Amino acid sequence: MTTVRQLLEGKGRQVFSVGPQAPVLEAIRLMAEHHIGALLVMKGEALAGIVSERDYARKVILRGRSSSDTPVRDIMSSPVLTVSPDTSVQQCMQLVTDQRVRHLPVVEGGRVIGMVSIGDLVKAVIAEQQQQIEQLESYIHS
């Protein structure tokens, strides 16, 4: 069973973040620049929240707020649902399904060491299933 640690080894541990006082417009620019759907909101080394395109759409656009005048702290989701590197992909899939979130920061020893998205999890599940299919086909043909 694949773990988050294995996922991070394959995809990397790069994490993009923004401070809570930053304007929402800066967060949206960062997400667009890096082709990602969410940013961690960090207060120094501490995880303060997470801000996503969904937060932007629901808490800025639909409420007629200004992207340049609204600080990220006003729209971020907090507290943040996190996982450890030893969490299985299956457990993560259950969490994102049950909690209706798309991104899970990975925390070890109180520090953020990465983030996995629902896309990362789906790719891992498909790869595991493909491997199982190949093993079964090999067994059947031998």
DSSP string, 68-107: TTSBGGGT-B-SPP-B-TT-BHHHHHHHHHHHT-SEEEEE
pTM of the model: 0.87
Question: Per-residue b/e over 73-98, b at no fewer than 16 CB within 10 Å?
Answer: bebbbeebebbebebebebbeebbee
Confidence at residue 71, expressed as pLDDT on a 0 to 100 scale: 96
- φ and ψ of 138, to 5 deg: -65, -40
Average pLDDT over residues 40-57: 95
Structure-block tokens of residue 105: 């920061």
Average pLDDT over residues 93-116: 95
- Full residue range of the structural domain in which residue 56 is found: 4-141
Name the residue among 123, 96, 117 with its Cα closest to residue 34: 117
Structure-block tokens of residue 14: 């790069």
On the question of pLDDT at 61 being above 90, the answer is no
Q: How sure is the predictor about 85, in pLDDT bands with cuts at 50, 70 and 90?
A: very high
**Cβ atoms 92, 104 nearer than 8 A:** yes
On the question of pLDDT at 25 being above 90, the answer is yes
Specify the residue for token string 């520090």. Answer: 111
With 0-12 CB in 10 A as exposed, 13-18 as middle and 19+ as buried, what is 120?
A: buried
Confidence at residue 22, expressed as pLDDT on a 0 to 100 scale: 97
Average pLDDT over residues 106-126: 94
The total domain count for the chain is: 1
Where residue 85 sits, what CATH number does that domain have?
A: 3.10.580.10
Average pLDDT over residues 47-66: 92
Confidence at residue 13, expressed as pLDDT on a 0 to 100 scale: 85
Confidence at residue 17, expressed as pLDDT on a 0 to 100 scale: 96
